Chains A and B, each alone.
Chain A
Amino acid sequence: MSVQSAGRWGLVAQFPAPLIARFARNRLAVGGLLVVALFLLFCFVGPTLYSTDQIHTDLTQVNLHPSGSHWLGTDAVGHDELGRLMYGGKVSLLVGLAAGVLATVIGTLWGSIAGYAGGWVDAVMMRIVDAGIAIPALFILLVVSAITTPGVPGLIVILGLVSWLVPSRLVRAETLTLKRRDYVLTLRAIGGTHGRAIARHILPNSVSTIVVAATFQVADAILLVAYVSYLGLGVQPPSTDWGGMLSAGLTAAYSGRWWLIVPPGLAIILVVCAFNAIGDGLRDAFDVRGRG
């Protein structure tokens, strides 16, 4: 069986075949994976096939309807809308993925240290998390981005810093049970270090929880970027993202230029739903308790 073949490399595989099979049985999750893959292709490979100028404005080509030369029309400053969807999508996906991963990494470290240390260290660290959760993330996000007007790296860091709280709680709970496992006790009894216990036993065994949490974090981060940019506090022109495109197209919605609103809105909804579906699928496949 799969476990046996995986064992040939000396390591029991992290993602054994039954896991993939269980994931594959979840149609919605597989659909989500497909949607994400298509969007990644669209945003990162698309521009090489459908190249457009997204830096310079062209006032002779403003507000054109969708046509053969501009498949999704143009916006108020003459950028091709389909090209802009790819261009903005790059920022949205990149920031979303990076911020989601960053939040998960911070949360994992914080949660595993708190859970493993226990006692007053745990109490202090988790009260900090409680306090952080009590302040609405969106509020912090808006204040910080209003003060600093961040670029892409700045946005990633800010988003990462406001959304690591939930993963840290999940990982702490996992750590609390894992650190009492007999193999951790055995390691400590023969003088193994705490670092080794965390790195070799606790984190690898929390992988399922962490991966599931990361997937949901990415979905959340993509939504948050959209919020911030919609309010004009995200990446600044000529750069843009899907939230910024929505914001720019808002006035156009009343004059019937749907192509400025529907595509970025649809893209956000599809990608966020897709990531959530993947998270659900992974959670069921791993059989871990995630959120929801």
Chain B
Amino acid sequence: MNSILEMENLGVVFSTESGDVPAVRGVSLRVEPGETLALVGESGSGKSTVALAALGLLPGNARASGGVSVGGTDVVGAGEAELARLRGRTASMVFQEPATALDPLTRIGKQIAEVVRNHRDVSRQEAAAEAVELLRRVGIPDPERRASAFPFQLSGGQRQRVVIAMAIANSPGLLVADEPTTALDVTVQAEILDLLRALAADSGTGVLLVTHNMGVVADFADRVAVMLEGEIVETGAVEDVLLRPTHEYTRRLLAAVPRLAVTGSGSGSGSVVGEEAEGAPVVELRDVSLQFGRGPRAVRALEEVSLTVRAGETVGLVGESGSGKSTAARVALGLVAPESGGVSLFGTDLRKARGRARRALLAGVGVVLQDPVASLDARMSVAECVAEPLRVHRRGMGAGERRERVAEVLELVRLPRELARRGPRELSGGQRQRVSLARALVLEPRLLVADEPTSALDVSVQQTVLEVITELQAELGFACLFVSHDLAVVQQFAGRVVVMRGGRVEEQGPTMSTLLHPETEYTRRLIAAVPVPDPVLQRQRRERRVALGTEAGA
């Protein structure tokens, strides 16, 4: 059989100001027609570079060596004209971010028709008709009308469907998908993966799937290649690699992946079991409603949201994007004032506390936010970042004492004291998040609010950060409001869980019982959509989910 993609000893070197940096070394792989090869690895492993090299899309400062052939055409040595004929025809690409992959000023039907006409000699009308047909194939409802929509009128999932429609417009033999579902919610991710799977099966397209998500791999791939520092360390069938990994790195990587327990006796693995938490409420939201904007364009962000975090417990706040989970956390912190309902922090009504009293109240709160880059002011040293809460709340503290306290908390989050003098720019993502955590803990808070603290990190780094938080919680006894979209992480980490949807609390309860035996249809669908990194189990789950979907649809 002829491979649609063949890489032989591919090497890629980037020339930068500080010299040549090898990104990919000696990568050999092949994708057969109708087969999906997943390329997995952590950030910086070179997996995206390999994907770009497959289509000759490497940036100008990159030099490729070795052989890459797509459908028999040599890509490394090909000229720009030859590559242009190849791209979109023999091979095409689906990128991570559907919002930027489409031209915001062109109607989607026209964008798809353009791809058709780029490679085939058809009339405008024929191309337009074909665009509608493609939209229908990727599952856009009412395609005749939707063809004249602009990208901003579509949801993220629909946009990704349009991007896929463009990619398959000329029935390519090879589809390169670089993190095609990473920017999407899990329920949408499941739909997009179903779509890609169906398309690949129908037309015998070979797929090179680049992803960091082992669940997606288990759900979609036939074979897996694991990359580490620019080299492939293990290749094999998906069952072998995910269930019986041979390489040490693959084993470590898989061990770090948080797994959503889908069966079990119901005994909690969370740090505090829900029923036990009967301490005093640390933060309490009562029937909080909030809308953004005024008049007909107002968006209801929160509707009668009530939740409580008690002393010492961890509450996971989960939901898809736009569910209001981050907004609820911000209300709890007093950053956003609710329109109606009450918020009390440590038993005091936040709205009534002003000035000094409010500041004293807030001294008991620590905050860690999602973005490791934006969380630390790049103009400050690590020591200054961590010391900031001390400067706000412990004004009388001397410089020496402050330095000592900063060193203490840095060690608490398992960072060396010497890091204090560095700038945030010199740190890795995981180190930065630990600095953020140190800053949050420097005042010994009674409540830690963590808004997606690990979702920008690689799994192995995520694991360390979560471990540090868990250990410190046992040691220092703070309560934690943990906002996350990742159900597996929440299951591991939180004693109680609050599921939000469209600004409302859908259901809440002890993590284990809620996530294993959800009471509402929505939570059930949410859980069913999470891919687990076990190909055999995932296949069963998928079949059950599809059955669930047809039942609900019928």
Contacts and interface: CB of A to CB of B under 8 A. Distances in A.
Given A189-B362, A190-B362, A183 B379 contact: no
List 8 tightest A-B contacts by C-beta distance, closest first. Answer: A191-B362, A12-B423, A191-B359, A182-B369, A182-B374, A182-B375, A189-B333, A189-B367
18 contacts: A3-B423, A4-B422, A4-B426, A11-B381, A12-B379, A14-B379, A183-B377, A186-B369, A186-B439, A190-B366, A190-B389, A190-B392, A191-B358, A191-B359, A191-B360, A191-B392, A193-B392, A205-B379
Contacts of B385: 183
A186 B375 CA distance: 8
Given A4-B426, A189-B334, 17 more contacts: A3-B425, A7-B422, A7-B423, A7-B426, A8-B421, A11-B384, A12-B380, A12-B423, A181-B374, A182-B371, A183-B385, A187-B388, A188-B335, A190-B389, A191-B365, A200-B377, A205-B379
A3 B425 CA distance: 9
B361 A191 contact: yes
B378 A12 contact: yes
A4 B421 CA distance: 9
Q: Is chain A's binding surface mostly helix, strand, loop or mixed? A: helix
Given A7-B426, A10-B384, A201-B377, A189 B335 contact: yes
B29 interface: no
Interface in B411-427: 421-423, 425-426
Nearest to B359: A191
A253 interface: no
A192 B381 contact: no
Interface string B315-351: 0000000000000000001110000000000000000
Contacts of B436: 186
B16 to A, nearest CB: 13
B370 interface: yes
B363 interface: yes
Q: Is chain B's binding surface mostly helix, strand, loop or mixed? A: mixed
B423 A192 contact: no
Nearest to A18: B17
B449 interface: yes
Nearest to B18: A1
Contacts of B358: 191
A289 interface: no
B517 interface: no
A140 B449 CA distance: 53
Interface in A104-152: none
Interface string A192-236: 110010001100110000000000000000000000000000000
B247 interface: no
Interface in B153-212: none
Nearest to B361: A191
Kindly state the interface size class of chain B when it binds its partner: 35 or more
Interface string A14-27: 10000000000000
A4 B380 CA distance: 13
Interface string B366-402: 1111110011111111011100110111000000000
B443 interface: yes
Contacts of B360: 191
Interface residues of A, number: 26
Contacts of B425: 3, 12
A59 interface: no
A186 B359 CA distance: 14
Contacts of A7: 381, 421-423, 426
B261 to A, nearest CB: 32
A185 interface: yes
B392 A187 contact: yes
Instruction: Name, among A6, A188, A191, the residue most crowded by chain B CB atoms within 10 Å (CB to CB).
Output: A191
B363 A183 contact: no
Given A181-B374, A183-B376, A10 B362 contact: no
Contacts of B443: 190
A205 B361 CA distance: 29
Given A7-B381, A201-B377, A185 B421 contact: no
Contacts of A187: 388, 392
A190 B367 CA distance: 8
B370 A196 contact: no
A4 B382 CA distance: 12
Instruction: Name, among B335, B367, B376, B385, the residue most crowded by chain A CB atoms within 10 Å (CB to CB).
Output: B367
B426 A182 contact: no
B57 to A, nearest CB: 25
Contacts of A8: 421
B377 A205 contact: yes
Contacts of B421: 7-8, 10
Instruction: Name, among A4, A10, A183, the residue most crowded by chain B CB atoms within 10 Å (CB to CB).
Output: A183
A275 B375 CA distance: 36
Nearest to B374: A182
A30 B57 CA distance: 38
A196 B392 contact: yes
Interface string B425-438: 11000000000100
